[in-house]
Chain A
Amino acid sequence: MSLIEVSELRRTFTVRRRVDGARRKQRTEVEAVRDLTFAIDAGEMVGYIGPNGAGKSTTVKMLTGILVPTSGRISVAGVDPSRHRTALARRIGVVFGQRTSLWWDLPLHDSFDLLHKIYRTDPARHRTNLAEFVELLDLGDLLDTPVRQLSLGQRMRGDIVAALLHDPEILYLDEPTIGLDVVSKGRLREFLRALNRDRGTTLMLTTHDLQDIEALCDRVIVIDHGTQVYDGTLAGLHEQGGSRRTVVVDLVDEAPPIEVAGAVTRRVEGPRQWLSFPADASAAPIVAALATSYDVADLSIQEPDIEEVIRQLYSRPPSEPSGRPSG
């Protein structure tokens, strides 16, 4: 049995909105999540992506027990989150990038101290954890600062420490890198990777920054309009989108478009040429063929643009789910 199991999960919201032209507001049902089925094993790092309003946050809220599903089944660490929310809370950590779980008016230190007490973590364990995380996330100088005086990135680091002090088995991150600069993002990714490696923490992360996914996740689940459109490896996602890699060749002299088996020449600019080939095919035979038939000065391989791939997935009609069925 997997650590997180979700089957046929559905959540609808009844909203009252003004249907255009009508004077009165009407009740309509929004299906935020529909028929979601997946399983995540302990130690996995899963990227959960989708466009705005896809239902990512709603899913995370159901997994943490905040929202009760309309129908379907969830089991996290063997229990139903909404029924055993407080008990489960000890075993999971949650970071909502858009809000803070720290106490706004209190210094970071007090927040951490209180968390220690309400989670009833072992004092020695708390101390070592705190020391380690503060060191890794470079928060040492900020412990006495009230949370509301922290910058976004500082606060986010504080929030991540807060979510981890009690050694959770699972860490849910809902847009943890939102608003962070490139350096902070890089540090955070490094930290999360180490967390997964050293402590075996299972990570589920939603984001709009695909570099987060590329840096961290072996597995991605893509959802759009509440429906799962892909579940599999990052490499698989490329295939799915029919994506292609590119060889950029610098020849010694200008030449007519190159012809090698397995690749198509897309562009020629002076001595430089661009050849594309399916992302799942090996580059080796193409490179070998090039080297034998042409005077190659330099050569590089460009990975496919994952954003392009995702865009293709999103633009498909939501009624035809694809990807490997999970479970």
Chain B
Amino acid sequence: MADAVVDYCRIASLWVRASMAYPASFWMMAVGSFLMTGLDFVAIWVLLRNVDDLGGFSLTEIGFLYGATGLGIAFADLCVGRVERLGQMIRTGRLDTMMTKPVPLLVQVCADEFAPRRFARVLQSSLVFVWAATYVDWTLPRALVAVEMVVSGSVIFFSLFVGLACVQFWTADSTEVANAFTYGGNQVTQFPMSVFPQEIVKALTFVLPIAFVNWYPALFILGRDDPFGLPEWLQLASPVAAALFLGAAALAWRVGVRHYRSTGS
């Protein structure tokens, strides 16, 4: 495990170094990505300008939700976002050559062509998160839950990226379904669940537990009652959801790799 992390960093840093060989391009990307990802939050701010609150939540509270899910997907995208390209790696035969190296395949796939511009999203989400966090009444339990929230959120998105990418071991045309769950999951959790009908919220809690990325822990941290009156222990259950996601993703990856059929040439 530690070896895998070290290998990941080595491969990634090589790519960072390679991209630093073109500093102008690098900085343009870094700044550009940062500004562009920021537009995402501007959109929410624009919506909130027209109303006092959204589903009973204020701009700072929504900023907190936004920052939390943003951090989750940003970390996951930073580490494993590249797995989306699995299909292409299969087609070009790159995966074959990776499989002959003594580094776990997933590490190689995710670290391949590591692009430092993905840090921009982490930074952007962090800024919104920190800004929104200044409006929270912090206590020790809340701080702990906040840490747990960001870790669980990252793990959930990590698992979504990896698990859904596995479908590409069977069919190459599936990347878009993955988007529905990863970026769709991110989008749906940018807003308070109270905006959505109860059935959708229940589905996002019990069927595909994406609401645990931020909604339940945030209710705890913000000291809010659950608008749907669901049990309070859910607010502390994010690590369980994350573990379930991770288990499913690991299983999918194992099955996928054993099913892998390479290409004909």
Contact = CB atoms under 8 A, between A and B. Distances in A.
Interface of A: 13, 57, 61, 64-68, 82, 85-87, 89-90, 92, 94, 96, 98-101, 103, 105-106, 110, 113-114, 117-119
A87 B96 CA distance: 16
A89 B92 contact: no
B10 A57 contact: no
Contact of A100 (B97, B99, B101, B265): B97
A64 B265 contact: no
B23 to A, nearest CB: 16
Contacts of B201: none
B102 A82 contact: no
A96 B93 contact: yes
Contact of B100 (A92, A98, A110): A92
A85 B99 contact: yes
B28 interface: no
Contact of A64 (B92, B100, B103, B104): B100
17 contacts: A64-B99, A66-B96, A66-B99, A67-B262, A82-B258, A86-B102, A87-B102, A89-B99, A89-B100, A99-B92, A101-B97, A101-B100, A101-B101, A103-B14, A105-B18, A114-B14, A118-B7
Given A99-B96, A99-B97, A101-B101, 11 more contacts: A61-B262, A64-B99, A66-B99, A85-B99, A89-B100, A96-B97, A110-B17, A114-B11, A117-B10, A118-B102, A119-B101
B116 to A, nearest CB: 14
A99 B262 CA distance: 13
Contacts of B7: 117-118
Given A67-B260, A86-B103, A98-B265, A61 B14 contact: no
**Interface band, chain B:** 20 to 34
A233 B98 CA distance: 34
Interface in B63-114: 92-94, 96-105, 113
Interface in B100-154: 100-105, 113
Contacts of A99: 92-94, 96-97
A67 B265 CA distance: 13
Interface of B: 7, 10-11, 14, 17-18, 92-94, 96-105, 113, 258-262, 265
A316 to B, nearest CB: 25
A198 B127 CA distance: 60
Nearest to A159: B97
Nearest to B17: A110
Contacts of B113: 105
A106 B10 CA distance: 14
A65 B102 contact: no
B102 A119 contact: yes
A41 B101 CA distance: 23
A105 B14 CA distance: 11
A64 B258 CA distance: 13
B102 A90 contact: yes
Nearest to B6: A117
Nearest to B261: A13
A66 B100 CA distance: 7
A87 B3 CA distance: 13
B97 A65 contact: no
A163 B207 CA distance: 47
A180 to B, nearest CB: 18
A61 B17 CA distance: 32
Contacts of B259: 68
